[in-house]
Structure 1
């Protein structure tokens, strides 16, 4: 697999207020100093869950990105001085610098011990200067240091970010001890509100630790334990990541194999393939069920990449051998599960091909319409190849000839545009015609589209069917009665996945388009949301409304038409 399909959590320590973000394919920027990557994550849900827990445990500012953009260029020289300091050491927890940004945002203690805002370069505050920086949600909930309201400095925020980095490195035990000490100190000093927040952070941390299985209680070395199942064309590889004796992550990779590769060569290829996209949190030991050919050379490459010595080990007995067998068993289960899914898809395609009496069913396209009260109407086309989503083939349509709410006509326009000879011949749009077209709807929607497509002179016109949502009935042009399948049948479930994916893709595009319309509307003073809706419904867009005559506008919004012409 290409590493662009994996997700990483990125922390850029060059920023005055480091942002914790998710990125893909970071190879192009891997060489940047002071940028940390954690991953690769093979599951989007795992990334989302991790970030949610980080926000529960650590006082992360949700406005960090806005703060970085709002920093005055007058701070540039002092920020460069900060960048020259070594902040990469995991154990570094003290920061003796105070850059201009920190001076701008940090609160200072007055004689009574209360905090007040401090300006930057003669400006009252960042917020006053830019009008952009406002308190983040975490600050209102008491879960932020307050960098966005000037109650904490860049240096203090860097301390928090380094604690996050330590946490990613598997040092949950140290962090838990630190939180408990702070909580007890706050309680002894009768700072009960602070103690309560620390207790909540401790509870969130415990929820993570409790889900991490104890692998080797007395072994604190960081390890990756490998297991795999090799078939004729691919290998399913599972990697169990153990840090401080606990399993902190479990990853599954699918690797395509060259023909006639032996086990030792496979191990070498697999290790290099997966660790070439590993950017941080390297293990010190890799446990494998079979050794590669050039162990010494591979260990040297891994050690140079990791920045510390990495050993490859084949256990013969003991707990490491037991763990290796367990991960190997999980690899077999993962592979069996994937084989089962592929078999279900193949079964669905064969049955559907027989049911619809078509020559083949390699490429299927599904279409759907989305709008907001008849405005911002858009269409979506999703593509499944061999029963699986082919996202590179997805396309979006802005409906041009239909005004108001008319899903039938909108679908007809979209499919007719897709099947137009010019569009079919355009390789940038699609490499080939589909074998089947699916639309969301009943007999009415299908007949409307067929009237449109019958006007198109196209050889090898694909079969067009519809799937009605209420009874999950399939309407086919050559049959008078709808086809009813069992809800558990693989072929119906495949069609449902296509329909639902088209619906999701259409809504996503409609939301983006509507957001643009709202921003466009805000440029006209005195025109609110309801008036804008009327104009878009009547003219199709605000751009078209502005091009209309005063008389046409007055018919829709009355006296307020002058605001459009004057705006």
Structure 2
């Protein structure tokens, strides 16, 4: 968003003041007209940094634009180094809590593991204790960790999670799907005694408390004891339980003794808002998770740095290792600040490969889930847009995506379809269909040129609300040839929107994104790949469905022109008026005569032809 003098009449004064500003490092303090501090920032070069806010024609992200629009004046403090500026910035932010800085609130509650008091107890995750006879384990500070641990234990030990009541419902109904896919032991079948079931629950609780290694040791000893006592059926069940624990340990990230004490941080952004997730490992297990809504989005590296500084400003200690999903603005200086603050070694890393990347992915997925609730989208939709923006080098995820496809049968019935995706979902009310008017022979490039010219011609006219929204991204069903053909068209029309093509393989499946002089592979960006595949499939469906419908109408029109006195124009009038063949068959001779403007005898002959059509 561009800042102008109309947005803030104080900009000329601020520009003049900034022109005399020192080039030394320091901290700048923005204030509104009431004198209240609204933003505090640090700079390696005060003159260059502050100038960037007030420069004429400067394009800002929405959050920065709002802040600059409200700046009445600013103060600054010069420091000897950028690091000193960072330390001072953190101290002043904590003191003044400015509106446009990232501010976090730690408002966590407590969670418990509940073991119900009944013949066949259930293990549940709950947010508070109830005044009942159930056993409660906790409190824990993280509802996320409790929920994950309970789900894992129920899955590994195949404990029932259905609503059936035991022993009342034993053998009353058929086992549910969980039993058949080996996610439940099947208490309802009557093959498990109360004593054996309670032993499994006890083992599950020990698994939650102590982890997989100790559980495997205890269960192995019990299995060997059962085998010695010739209780082979029990030994087999224990063997299967051990195998389930070992298999779960290979993939689960809740309990892992190889993971050092660390915090894992990821930030997710969707269109104009952002959030962060912090996952904490202590003693080889996931102990906590925290989500923070950050408000308006910002540049990723800057946002990561600001969040890390704000987050640890309210913490009395930090682990030795901090893993980030996004590289901050200055990782070395950030690391130095944390080491001096906590007086012990702190290593800030951005993993690129190995099992630690799985941890940053876990944090990223949680951030996506958190933001998806805010914007009313699924985690996959949020991740798809974010991954696509990153792959294409866009500053922010595109809100509106338009995609175009040409469909024809040789040089007849040439049409195009335009689909619109809003925040990762089809927006069918904005779909458009085009009949090609100026191209007489099959030429996809010429057809696409006509469609783009007509679409943006309607945008500039401003008469059709369906064309009023300018897209954030344009995709063409085609390769580099399509992109290189349409780029000059957009430049001529003065439409500044990113343009790419969608390339298919020999099996007509999405393969890559065409840039005009190369391709971008999305094989490592699964969510983005799924999104563009969905878009490409949808635009192909719309275009080919329209082309088939038009071909049917053409064939129908040709049948009507067999009647003397009924030409193409009159045939089209009839098709337009009655829409379908069924409606046309129901029409009376008088209705046909009135619509087509023909004589009664011609209308009767026409009626006979229509009635004979299959």
Confirm or deny a common fold (TM above 0.5): no
Which structure would you say has the larger Rg?
2
TM-score scaled by structure 2? 0.35
TM-score scaled by structure 1? 0.37
